[in-house]
Chains A and B, each alone.
Chain A
């Protein structure tokens, strides 16, 4: 179907993400975000096409799977598989967790703890349904509001690198990726990150993933660094 004529207004570019262009639009009267995985000139054509296709499909699939399990992700309205565009619900007036953490001043510690517990809980339920996010950073988590935050206020986005796996190794690597991104982006938040893991730990099936996390960390520390 021709979306433009079927009730979607023009796309307004709002930002360039890590791999996609993000547009604001209006789809059948609803505030909409359009995420376009445009062609990357630097990549070989064959590889580029394969990645854009796979990631678009995987993103939609995992968002759906998370939603069904009660994990907040934007509702997908429409997929344009020719242009690799995903039309999804706009999480209105939201800010990224990255910006939220950077904005914390008073009660920083207690707000961080509260946030960390929410993140730990969501990650555990996501891994419980075998969704590996693949790109866990504080840029890929949105907060609907900034006061008295609850679980339902944290929305996970950007599932392009996600996969479905029950392997503890994959879950461990998922946590490892978050750990590095979290601690590099937010210096001196080791305590908060520990709360994420401690919360994650209280869920069933989490101990193997945490054991793998230790292994992956150790591999990093043992790696030779010659040259």
Chain B
């Protein structure tokens, strides 16, 4: 029996979760929400994490009904993410590891999303679409690494959605992407936007600047509604994502898709992916909202896998890094 606790705070969600042999014992989260029109800044986000981390930790232990001596390893997010928030959380993870006298495991945030997705869906070897505020990648496992087959060549899809939400001054509660999704449901008119796919790679910055440009003019002229713009943006961005996922599936000969990351909560994206997958006679692994959004349990799960395969991070290497690519990690817990 191995019990792992995971600390996550690479962006505006602070999360701590506890996992025991594939079972989620607790998963507590506290999200830093900024006023409409504003993104989250590193300093304020770090402060939010510092202010709440001890109460989140208390809750995670209480909900799991676990005492520190029952924990086998302390896992934390090494990166990628924002520097200050990462460090704020890592310091607490390091401190409790020393207090409790437990080994530490430094975890890659992207790998954690994938491992949590595999755990909750039972997916064996899926093509993974990882879509969040900071990442857009199509990933497949090959010879002990999660290899990136496709990626954004500029901004992430979540970033594109968030920034457009700011243009429309949509609320950041619970998340800008969620509010775009609700607006898009009421959109009717399809406005053509640039569509930029390069093999298995995509580019979103041209779409963002184009829609930012035309939005005010079209709205003022009564040509369309904000709902139409949200609808058109989603239809375009998601068509690109589904297209590169399909291209990677064909290229790798894969029959299974898993969507992870915050944007994976979007039901329209899930629906489009399902339509693509069904048409190919493949399967889409069900997405579970609770684990798509950044959380602590996923860090615990990836750490659990690493720890169980013999990996421990020496204390003097328990630092953080803002850039940490998915394919840098040697996957020691899966067959070659």
CB distance from B280 to the nearest CB of A (A): 6
Q: Which residues of the other chain, B, contact A136 by a CB distance below 8 angstroms? A: 199
Are the C-beta atoms of A220 and B250 separated by less than 8 Å? no
Are the C-beta atoms of A17 and B250 separated by less than 8 Å? yes
B242 within 8 A of A: yes
Q: Which residues of the other chain, A, contact B195 by a CB distance below 8 angstroms? A: 47, 51
Q: Which of B11, B247, B262 is A18 in contact with, Cβ under 8 Å?
A: B247
Q: Which residues of the other chain, B, contact A151 by a CB distance below 8 angstroms? A: none
- How large, as a class, is the contact surface on chain A? 35 or more
A219 and B154 in contact, given A16-B250, A19-B243, A225-B80 (Cβ under 8 angstroms): yes
Are the C-beta atoms of A187 and B147 separated by less than 8 Å? yes
B85 to chain A: closest residue by CB: A226
A82 within 8 A of B: no
CB 8 Å contact bits of A157-191 with B (1 = contact, 0 = none):
00001000000000001101110110011010000
A113 within 8 A of B: no
Q: How far is the CA of A219 from the CA of B205 in the complex (A)?
A: 13
A185 and B251 in contact, given A41-B279, A227-B10 (Cβ under 8 angstroms): yes
Q: How far is the CA of A43 from the CA of B275 in the complex (A)?
A: 9
B2 within 8 A of A: no
B200 within 8 A of A: yes
Q: Which residues of the other chain, A, contact B54 by a CB distance below 8 angstroms? A: none
B211 within 8 A of A: no
Are the C-beta atoms of B198 and A44 separated by less than 8 Å? no
A20 to chain B: closest residue by CB: B250
Q: How far is the CA of A185 from the CA of B253 in the complex (A)?
A: 11
B320 within 8 A of A: no
B323 within 8 A of A: yes
B216 within 8 A of A: no
CB 8 Å contact bits of B125-161 with A (1 = contact, 0 = none):
0000000111100001011010111111111101100
A219 and B243 in contact, given A161-B198, A180-B148 (Cβ under 8 angstroms): no
Q: How far is the CA of A134 from the CA of B195 in the complex (A)?
A: 13
Q: Which residues of the other chain, A, contact B251 by a CB distance below 8 angstroms? A: 18, 98, 137, 139, 181, 185
Q: Which residues of the other chain, A, contact B153 by a CB distance below 8 angstroms? A: 173, 176, 216, 219-220
B145 to chain A: closest residue by CB: A187
Are the C-beta atoms of B247 and A19 separated by less than 8 Å? yes
A226 and B246 in contact, given A180-B201, A221-B323 (Cβ under 8 angstroms): no
Give the contacts of B201-250 with A (CB-CB under 8 A). 201, 235-236, 239, 242-243, 246-247, 249-250
Q: How far is the CA of A187 from the CA of B279 in the complex (A)?
A: 30
B306 within 8 A of A: no
CB distance from A164 to the nearest CB of B (A): 15
Q: How far is the CA of A180 from the CA of B139 in the complex (A)?
A: 12
Q: How far is the CA of A40 from the CA of B148 in the complex (A)?
A: 25
A184 to chain B: closest residue by CB: B147
A153 within 8 A of B: no
Are the C-beta atoms of A16 and B135 separated by less than 8 Å? no
CB 8 Å contact bits of B1-36 with A (1 = contact, 0 = none):
000000000111000000000000000000000000
Give the contacts of B260-277 with A (CB-CB under 8 A). 261-262, 271-273, 275-276
Are the C-beta atoms of A44 and B250 separated by less than 8 Å? no
A26 within 8 A of B: no
Q: How far is the CA of A42 from the CA of B269 in the complex (A)?
A: 9
Q: Which residues of the other chain, B, contact A1 by a CB distance below 8 angstroms? A: none
CB 8 Å contact bits of A41-80 with B (1 = contact, 0 = none):
1111011001100000000000000000000000000000
Are the C-beta atoms of B198 and A227 separated by less than 8 Å? no
Q: Which residues of the other chain, B, contact A180 by a CB distance below 8 angstroms? A: 148-151, 200-201
A46 to chain B: closest residue by CB: B190
Are the C-beta atoms of B192 and A226 separated by less than 8 Å? no
CB distance from B141 to the nearest CB of A (A): 11
B143 to chain A: closest residue by CB: A187
User: Assuming A47-B190, A137-B251, A227-B261, what are 9 further A-B pairs, CB within 8 angstroms?
Assistant: A47-B236, A137-B200, A185-B149, A187-B145, A225-B80, A225-B135, A226-B80, A227-B11, A227-B159
B→A interface (CB under 8 Å): 10-12, 79-82, 132-135, 140, 142-143, 145, 147-156, 158-159, 190, 192, 195, 197-201, 235-236, 239, 242-243, 246-247, 249-252, 261-262, 271-273, 275-276, 279-280, 294, 322-324, 327
Instruction: Report 10 cross-chain contacts, Cβ distance below 8 Å, ordered by A residue.
Output: A41-B279, A46-B192, A47-B195, A137-B200, A173-B153, A176-B201, A180-B150, A220-B153, A225-B134, A227-B135
10 nearest A-B residue pairs (beta carbon): A227-B133, A225-B80, A227-B134, A226-B134, A18-B250, A184-B147, A177-B199, A42-B272, A42-B275, A18-B247
